[in-house]
Amino acid sequence: MLNKHWLTVLFVLIVTPMVANFAHAQQATDPLEHVWYNEEQTAKIQVYKGADNKFYGKIIWLKIPLKDGKPKVDINNPNEARRNDPIIGLLLLKGFKKASGNTYEDGTIYDPKNGKTYSCKITRKDNKLDVRGFVGFSMFGRTTYWTLAE
């Protein structure tokens, strides 16, 4: 027969993993929170949820990270003081709110190729993202397609 001590140990061994699994399920990440390839697969963007519960995305990898032997920088940034900021680590996506199951809105996307920032809407479709940048109305924009990288 088991004494009280062993019953307590047995109880802890059984219950602790169940509590840990429940806690992990409560902290599950949003399906948007992954690393994504841009359409050309020349960059990887890490999408994450900020402390404000909005979603952000930064470049974490470039297929060609160097130019003239030095890390690529944000040469087209409209703010001259930011033109020496490295592209790796650059925040592209800012301030997205989850609107419905697969849609994220009210954010912006920065295009380092031209230094412009656009309103943006993201729609997740399984392992792909439709990333639509626009000025004013969503119908006046362009959609690019990102794929899951990791």
Element (H, E) at 5: helix 4-26
For the beta carbon of residue 122, count every other beta carbon within 10 angstroms. Answer: 24
Residues with Cβ within 8 Å of 118's Cβ and at least 6 positions away in sequence, in order, are 108, 109, 111, 133, 134, 135, 141
- The ranges assigned to domains in the chain are 30-148
What string of pLDDT tens digits covers the 150 residues of the chain? 556 654 454 444 454 454 344 433 445 699 999 999 999 999 999 999 999 999 999 999 999 999 999 999 999 999 999 999 999 999 999 999 999 889 999 999 999 999 999 999 999 999 999 999 999 888 889 999 999 997
Per CATH, the number for 30-148 is: 2.40.128.520
Instruction: Give the start-end residues of each E strand in the chain.
Output: 35-37, 43-49, 55-62, 66-67, 70-71, 91-98, 103-111, 116-125, 128-134, 141-148
